[in-house]
Homo-oligomer: A and B are copies of this chain.
Amino acid sequence: MNATIPISDRFRVKTPQLDMPPRILLGPGPANVDPRVLSAISVPPVGHLDPTYLKVMDEIQDLLRYAWQTENEMTLAVAGTGTAAMEATLANVAEPDDVVLIGVKGYFGNRLVDMAGRYGAKVCKMTKTWGDAFTLEEIKAGIETHKPKILALVHAETSTGVRQPLEGVAELCQQHDCLLLVDTVTSLGGVPLHIDEWGIDLAYSCSQKGLGSPPGASPFTMSSRAVEKLQQRPNPVPNWYLDMSLLAKYWGTERVYHHTAPINMNYALREALRIVAEEGLIERWQRHQRNAELLWEGLAELKIECHVDREIRLPTLTTVRIPDGVDGKAVSKKLLNEYNIEIAGGLGELGGKVWRIGLMGYNSRPENVILLLNALKKVLY
């Protein structure tokens, strides 16, 4: 021991055993997770190159392919939260001076703009009011004007609750030799989504919303077209941790060490994906839709308006307008402190104007709808 350097106990703080409140997470995520998933996350870890763990990785890849309806070989879980998977899409294919066209109609569109700029892309924006979606004509015009190498759209905008229709977009992209990059953070596992049928080249998501796992391991997929662009880069990907040319060697057959995987997070993700496969995608999407409609009916009865038109409204996340004269923050604080219910306020343009209510994954259940509606009634009236 180095006896000459004394140890400081200044930050040797005494903390009690972890004792968290039993929250009912009805905001934009994380959502509560199935007890089966919590049980899986606490299984003692094995090594990240253990043959039994490599099998877990393979299973996660297959089950993700099912959840995303894709045959993409490069389908895996990024070792970070959804934002890391988001950055992984841009970091790998947005090269310096590539034109990247981004549809901005909420907070996460803006985040894509910020990120793409950091990778040296020439960023162009299409914008739309927060609460709207782009029409196919608008997207066509954007592509024709800017001639992007990559078009990025947010399928499920977590800040507005809007579902961006994607039918027909891939055809436009392919005509213009452009990759289609899609944010599916709030759609995967809860909203109809067909990666291959819709011709999506790059997509990312998170574990803690529609899939019902804790945050920390995040779905990522890229098509062979996107892989080709990656392979043709003249220089290494300017992000080591998220470099898919290296990650492909760990998740693929070579099994070359890249990073020490978040073993327990992936145990959890595997269990969450197993539950998706057991339930079935159609059944799961229908459940999310059914419970969302129950919520919307109940809100109407309370004379609370939804912010987004029904045709493009996400079943996973609903933005509702805070009634005139009501202090939105005070209401959500009361819901949290008196009933352990978490809902969230608006972001950006919608700050102070809406609440965001999530019914996602394990939490998309009628009992949660009834509870929330009645707690809201108590707090409001």
Contact = CB atoms under 8 A, between A and B. Distances in A.
Interface of A: 1-2, 5, 7-15, 18, 20-23, 25, 27, 29-30, 32-33, 38-48, 50, 52-53, 56, 59, 62-63, 65-66, 69, 71, 79-84, 87, 111, 114-115, 117-119, 192, 194, 197, 206, 208, 214-216, 236-242, 257-265, 267-268, 270-271, 274, 277, 280-282, 285-286, 289, 336, 342, 344, 347
Copies in the complex: 2
A194 B216 CA distance: 30
Given A20-B44, A25-B45, A46-B342, A215 B15 contact: no
Q: Which of A27, A46, A242, A271 has its CB near the most chain B CB atoms (within 10 A)?
A: A46
A81 B259 contact: yes
Given A52-B21, A62-B11, A84-B79, A260 B45 contact: no
Given A11-B65, A46-B342, A262-B265, 19 more contacts: A2-B194, A10-B65, A11-B63, A12-B63, A14-B277, A18-B271, A22-B44, A27-B47, A30-B263, A41-B42, A41-B264, A47-B342, A47-B344, A50-B342, A79-B81, A80-B262, A118-B236, A216-B216, A216-B264
A41 B268 CA distance: 11
A92 to B, nearest CB: 13
A44 B52 contact: no
A32 to B, nearest CB: 6
Across the A-B interface, give the 10 residue pairs with the lowest CB-CB distance, nearest first.
Answer: A216-B262, A42-B42, A11-B65, A11-B66, A83-B259, A214-B264, A80-B80, A38-B42, A11-B62, A215-B260
A48 B39 CA distance: 21
Nearest to A30: B45
A83 to B, nearest CB: 4
A235 to B, nearest CB: 8
B20 A46 contact: yes
Contacts of A236: 114, 117-118
Contacts of A259: 80-84
